Amino acid sequence: MRKNLLKSYSKEKDEALAYIFVLNELLGNKNRPNNQKAWNLAQKELKPIHSHKGILVSPIAKVRLDYSQYKIRGKYTKSNILKSYFLALKYMSYMPFMVNAHSATGVTPQIVKE
């Protein structure tokens, strides 16, 4: 995904690239990317993921997410591989891709458009 995104990269795709950077980091890839703006955005997203801060506005998705869901639990606490798997899978399944505006989620028509 990262390779294909970088082929046709433009500044409008910073959120998509930051999403990929977050996944890479959660999976244990510590290679620092060369796109500073997307990297900074990814770091802002990673902070509440690792601190389990509760409900906050996602820097990438721009809607409220419950970051307490990223607290590693159960069998996933037994190894670093399982911890990475839990966090990455949770992030991929929990990160909303908005298609409809709705007041309950805080998704505005502008966010849908973006």
Tokens representing 17 are 């690239």
**Which amino acid is residue 49, in one-letter code?**
I
Tokens representing 1 are 């995904």
Per-residue pLDDT tens over the stretch 10-68: 666 788 888 889 999 999 887 777 788 889 999 999 999 999 989 998 998 888 889 99
- Domain range for 102: 2-113
Question: Which residue has tokens 């997307």?
Answer: 38
How far is the C-alpha of 46 from the C-alpha of 19, rounded, in Å? 10
Number of domains in the chain: 1
